[in-house]
């Protein structure tokens, strides 16, 4: 699987599946979540509500992933995953890695060839950017999916993108 770092807006990515840094309610929020619902239109929220009414009555647990339509986005699917809130006193990085791993597994099951990820938990959820990048790249480099041939980590602003490049070089 090819792994690339891209600076940009995740809602504009021409890929088969876009990962959403959702919250467990699946009913929308700020950051990436807000942008995806705004640009993708009401069809995504309608499917999220249906998921809450069926499989995820109590919300999507942290670390898990589930797909819906991508509505009006260029992608075919949105894969919603719930990152952990950063904690200085509790080790939650396995949950963060689970988000990347489980989203990739869902993408693979759907038959997606390309997947774009945001930097999960690194916004409102407060995860330190360098470590968030390290967790993302560690999982994505270690996984060999059957169908997904490209994973893209999409960094929203220049500073985050540059930090991500440095982390990638150090891990190489």
Residue positions annotated with a catalytic role: 33
Whose Cβ is closer to ligand ADP: residue 32's or residue 66's?
A: 32
| Cα 23 to Cα 28: distance, rounded to the nearest angstrom | 7
> Distance (Å, rounded) from C-alpha 111 to C-alpha 83?
23
Q: Are 115 and 17 in contact (CB under 8 A)?
A: yes
Binding mask 106-145 for ligand ADP (x = CB under 6 A): ------------xxxxxxxx--------------------
CB of 119 to ligand ADP, least distance (A): 4
* Contact status: 151 vs ligand ADP (CB under 6 A): no
SS3 129: helix
Rule CB under 6 A: say whether 60 interacts with ligand ADP. no
Among 19, 21, 78, 137, binds ligand ADP (CB under 6 A): 21
Distances in Å between the alpha carbon of 138 and those of 15, 16, 47, 68, 86? Answer: 21, 22, 31, 26, 18
Choose, by CB under 6 A, the member of 156, 161, 164, 167 that binds ligand ADP: 156
Beta carbon of residue 127, minimum distance to ligand ADP (angstroms, whole number)? 7
By CB under 6 A, residue 27 contacts ligand ADP = no
Query: Does residue 35 bind ligand ADP (CB under 6 A)?
Result: yes
In angstroms, rounded to a whole number, what is the distance separating the alpha carbons of residues 72 and 86? 32
Most distant CA pair in the chain: distance in Å?
A: 45
Beta bridge partners of 66: 80
The SS3 of residue 45 is helix
Least gap, CB of 165 to ligand ADP (angstroms): 15
User: Which residues would be at the binding site for ligand ADP (CB under 6 A)?
Assistant: 9-11, 21, 30-33, 35, 83, 118-125, 154, 156, 160
């Amino acid at each position: 699987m090819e792994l690339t770092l891209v600076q940009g807006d995740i809602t504009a990515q021409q890929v088969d599946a876009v990962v959403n840094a959702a919250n467990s309610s699946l009913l929308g929020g700020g950051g990436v979540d807000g942008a995806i619902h705004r640009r993708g239109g009401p069809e995504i929220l309608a499917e999220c509500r249906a998921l809450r009414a069926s499989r995820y009555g109590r919300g999507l647990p942290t670390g898990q992933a589930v797909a819906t339509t991508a509505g009006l986005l260029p992608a075919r699917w949105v894969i919603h995953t719930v990152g952990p809130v950063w904690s200085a006193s509790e080790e939650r990085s396995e949950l963060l890695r689970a988000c990347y791993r489980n989203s990739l597994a869902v993408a693979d099951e759907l038959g997606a060839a390309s997947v774009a990820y945001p930097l999960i938990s690194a916004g409102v959820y407060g995860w330190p950017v360098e470590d968030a990048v390290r967790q993302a790249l560690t999982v994505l480099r270690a996984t060999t999916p059957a169908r997904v041939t490209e994973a893209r980590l999409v960094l929203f602003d220049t500073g985050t993108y540059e930090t991500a490049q440095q982390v990638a070089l150090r891990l190489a």
